Amino acid sequence: MKISTKLNSPFLKEVGDIAHFTGRFFREISKPKQEWEEFINQCFWVGYKTLTLVGITAFIMGLVLTIQSRPTLVEFGAESLLPSMVSVSLVREISPVITALICAGKIGSGMGAELGSMRVTEQIDAMEVSGTNPFKYLVVTRVMAATIMVPILSSVGNAIALYGGYLGVNIRGQVSWHLYWFQAFNALSFGDFIPSLVKTFFFGFAIGIIGCYKGYNSQKGTEGVGRSATTAVIVASLLVFVIDLIAVQITDLLGLT
């Protein structure tokens, strides 16, 4: 009696392909003559063009969190702790993750659709024939831009969300500008800021790698372009949660919580 042990998993193949794609990225970025002009251009599109969406979302997030938290704190007679609770919740977890998910939806899908369109219209093949390195020009610049701009967007989102929290505190109460910010920052430490900032670099890298991978390897015409954009958002969003879980565990082990 023979038992077949053949392993043919599309999931494992996909993981291997992404790992190979990531390895190629590090090989290309280590080579000289980076495409700095295209990198700056991608920073503009990734950062500036996403700032408005991140800002609006962060403002509403801070406002809603404050309004929703007030009744519970009032019930326990701890309304004065509202600025501290809001600042810790936003800076540690909510603002970085929500910002990363917004970027996964906008940036990841945009990269997947753009590179997918270039692949199916054979523009990438034309670049290879002309002697240009399409991977360095298209992929490296976009991944670098996402890795750098997502932490910046998250930091700006933190500030805007905290301002939204200030308005939320004063909807049914009266807390002065100086008192609110004193309580908000007094509850925070470097152990809150540093892990929150560091993990956003990994969020940005994951979003850039997945978006570029899906688009760069797109197939089957226009249908493949749509599939690349959709799967880029799904996989990047899942990776954001996985990275966040790992970051929380590491932070806890290091005693930074």
Alpha-carbon distance of 177 to 214, in angstroms, equals 46
Nearest residue to 28 (alpha-carbon basis) of 142, 112, 182: 142
pTM (two decimals): 0.89
Structure confidence by residue, pLDDT tens digits, 76-114: 888 888 899 999 999 999 999 999 999 999 999 999 999
What is the radius of gyration, based on Cα positions, of the chain?
22
d(CA 36, CA 189): 36
pLDDT, tens digit (0-9, with 9 covering 90-100), for 121-143:
888 888 888 878 889 999 999 99
3-state secondary structure of 254: coil
Task: Give the per-residue pLDDT at 257.
Answer: 62
**Is the pLDDT score of 2 beyond 80?**
no
Mean pLDDT of the chain: 89
Q: How many CB atoms lie within 10 A of CB 251?
A: 19
For 61-81, the pLDDT digits (tens) are 999 999 998 888 888 888 888
Over range 225-244, report the average pLDDT. 92
Query: What are the start-end ranges of the E strands in 90-226?
Result: none
